[in-house]
Structure 1
Amino acid sequence: MESLSDVILCCRELSSEKATERKKSVEKLKNLLNKKSVVSSLDLNSQNKTGDRNILTWDGITREAHHYVIMETQLLQKGKEAQSATAKANKEKRKQEIGGFFKFVVKQAEKRGPKLKAVQLIKQILEVMRDGFMLSAYGLDYSNILLKDVLTVRKYCTEITEKTWHDLITVYCKLFGDPDCGLDTILLSRIIRLLISAATVRCQLRPKKFLSFFTEVFMDIRYFLPLLVITIITSLSLPSSSPISFVSTFKIIFCPLA
């Protein structure tokens, strides 16, 4: 039966200087994280968090997986620019494999309920979304994690600080207005809707920050935004517990633009 010592060894080899060893460790780690005995041990360790970094948890594996993404990204950036169509296709495939690995680890951890620290996971997501190269390479994977594995989990939403809510909203509103970011506007609008809806009941937002965002959205609404995007953005729910000033500001934004 595989033990957590095998998982620890794989995590260490993710930082190997040899590409073949890193690749082998990724495949071996994937296999190990599909083993019931390994998953059960990790779940138990993650549930009984003691703060001891020597005890392997899902947080620890996710941290190592993200470090692997950073390391592989640096190597991709240092490499020669692909010239042929085949070389370019191979490079794109490599990016998908790297981002897919991190996504796999998170999904394995979350299958049986929340097992991760929201603070660490969101920090990793923001690091990718703020970097131009990583945004292009892994932005879709990390954004889907935020949408499906963070914002839909009440436990994680309660752990997010006011500053982090503002950071997430600022980053995704900026991406929504950037046609070159490479992310689908439907995905971005869904994330923005969930972010604002969840944040309004957990912290004091600064409404003026959204004035330019909504103004731009409604100025371009007839020209390029799909109907689904329009529906999502305009259906932003404002709970009764939202600050009165926030609701009033949204009325000021929406009424003239309607």
Structure 2
Amino acid sequence: MNVQRDGIGAVETMAVAVDLAIFTVRDDTLQVLLIERGKAPFLGRVALPGGYVRAQENLDHAARRELQEETDIRSAGDKSGLHLEQLGSYGDPGRDPRGRVVTVAYLALGPNLPTPVAGTDARHAYWTPVQELLAAPDTLAFDHATILRDAVERARTRLEYTTVAAAFCAEPFSVSDLRRVYEAVWGIALDPSNFRRKVTRAEGFLEATGEQRIPEVGRPAALYRKGEAELLIPPLLRSTNATRPPVAPG
């Protein structure tokens, strides 16, 4: 960490980093990607993937590079279907023992994401259920428990007001597939008939493919792809759709 002087006093130079909260739904459970750190600080502790922003790259490029280098999962631009957006900035002075580091956190959502492959300074990369981490926030290094908690709430809110839930579904998908995404992210049970009525009537949310999935038992399920809408009209609110109380984010 470099120190410069401006004639008044010492000015500490800040480093900029990116961290990623990457979510997928596995076994009807919201899971987040973690790495086991292979370097100090927090050697051997688990953390969200991330790293420093290089001099000649912007924040989005840094996020995509770290995503690939530490986990071998690629982001938007390679047709993987991974949704990536900025979550927020975190800059408490003591968040990193190496010095003053401000991180820009990203939220990533994707369907059927593969088993990650660790690289660079990560010993191991793996998926773990979000609720386990929310119940034991001291598990995570740095201030990543705070970032994770904020990312979970952002994802839950996004599902209320936007069509991003479809980012968790490999196309084509059924309404039941989509409902399981909502239940996994929100941590609540939803009434199947009421859910189907609302999402199929939402403007531009779903586009019927004309195909059906034939199960071994039960009725055929109509298949859909994501429509052109980005906003969910009308919104689908947790508070008015739960059949049991939601799981608290922290």
Name the structure with the higher helix share.
Answer: 1
Name the structure with the higher strand share.
Answer: 2
Common fold, TM-score beyond 0.5?
Answer: no
